[in-house]
Amino acid sequence: MTTLHVINKTPSESSALRDSLIAMSDGDALLLIENGVYATLPAYSEHFSRLTANVQCYLLTDDAQARGLNDLNQDFCGIDYDGFVELSCRYSKVVSWF
């Protein structure tokens, strides 16, 4: 049973990212959308230090571009809404944290 964790807030706005990282298991995936994409800025990189290589990290490029984030952190794979839907199908549950 794998889970897609969706985060839509910056770590400064809410504890959603921190909480989700604690709940994450091997094989799960993380998707940053809306203001959540700001978490890819270098200032927040320590949040991801405990993530294992078995957790795939994605971000919604539509939301990153809308916020002027063009030099994206290479640890995150950029996807569009179609990609979001495909991830929702690939993982058995979608959990939104906010």
Partner 1 sequence: MIFSIVVTGAPYSSQASASALQFSRSVLKLGHSIHRVFFYADGVHSGSALASPPQDESNIPAEWSELARQHQLDLVVCIAAAVRRGILDENEARRYEKKGHNLAADFTLSGLGQLVEAGILSDRVVTFGA
Which parts of this chain interact with partner 1 (CB under 8 A)?
A: 6, 8, 33-35, 62-63, 80-82, 84-86, 88-89, 93-94, 96, 98
CB 34 within 8 A of CB 63: yes
With a CB cutoff of 8 Å and minimum separation 6, the contacts of 83 are 58
Quote the DSSP letter at residue 6. Answer: E
For partner 1, the closer of residues 21 and 79 by Cβ is 79
Minimum gap (Å) between residue 88 Cβ and partner 1: 5
For partner 1, the closer of residues 4 and 21 by Cβ is 4
Minimum gap (Å) between residue 96 Cβ and partner 1: 4
Minimum gap (Å) between residue 43 Cβ and partner 1: 22
For partner 1, the closer of residues 23 and 98 by Cβ is 98
For the sheet with 93-97, list strands across it: 77-79, 56-60, 29-32, 3-7, 93-97
Structure tokens at 7: 């985060």
CB 11 within 8 A of CB 20: no
Minimum gap (Å) between residue 63 Cβ and partner 1: 8
